[in-house]
Structure 1
Amino acid sequence: MSPKQQRGAVTAERVLDAALDLYASEGEAGVTVSALTRASGVSTGSLYHHFGNLHGVISALALRWLGRLLGELATALTSHQDARSGIEAVVRAYLEFVRTRPAAARLLHSPFADQEGTARAAEIRDNQEARLTPIEQWLDGHRKAGELADLPTPVIEALVLGPVIGMARRWLTLGDVDLEEAARVLPDRIWRSVGP
Structure 2
Amino acid sequence: MGRKQQRGEATVEQVLDAALCVYAARGEQGLTVSAVTEASGVSPGSLYHHFGSLEGLLDALTMRWLGRLLDALATALEPARTARAGVRALVRAYFAFVREHPEAARLVHSARADHHGMGHAGEIRDFQQVRISSIAGWVGARQASGELAPLPGPLIESLVLGPVVGAARRWIAVGDIDLDEALRTLPERIWRSVAP
Unaligned runs of 5+ in 2: none
Q: Which residue of 1 aligns with 2:88?
A: 88
- State percent identity of aligned pairs: 61
Aligned equivalents of 2:89 and 2:65: distance in 1? Answer: 19
Please give the residue correspondences for 1:34-183 in structure 2 after superposition, counting only pairs within 5 Å: 34-183=34-183
Aligned equivalents of 1:141 and 1:130: distance in 2? Answer: 17
**What are the superposed Cα offsets for residues 142-172 of structure 1, whole Å, 9 maximum, x if unpaired?**
1111101111111110000000011011001
Aligned residue pair count: 196
Aligned equivalents of 1:19 and 1:9: distance in 2? Answer: 15
SS of 1:11 mapped into structure 2: helix
Aligned equivalents of 1:89 and 1:155: distance in 2? Answer: 19
Aligned equivalents of 1:133 and 1:140: distance in 2? Answer: 10
**What are the superposed Cα offsets for residues 107-147 of structure 1, whole Å, 9 maximum, x if unpaired?**
00111111111111111111101101111111011111110
Q: Which residue of 2 aligns with 1:31?
A: 31
Q: Which runs of 4+ in 1 moved over 6 A?
A: none
Alpha-carbon distance, 1:185 to partner: 1.2
Alpha-carbon distance, 1:78 to partner: 2.2
Aligned equivalents of 2:119 and 2:78: distance in 1? Answer: 30
**What are the superposed Cα offsets for residues 163-192 of structure 1, whole Å, 9 maximum, x if unpaired?**
001101100110011111111111111111
SS of 1:148 mapped into structure 2: coil
Alpha-carbon distance, 1:13 to partner: 0.6
Aligned equivalents of 1:154 and 1:123: distance in 2? Answer: 16
**What is the Cα-based RMSD across aligned positions, in Å?**
0.7
Q: Give TM-score, length-normalised by structure 1.
A: 0.98
**What are the superposed Cα offsets for residues 22-58 of structure 1, whole Å, 9 maximum, x if unpaired?**
1111110111000001000000000000000000100
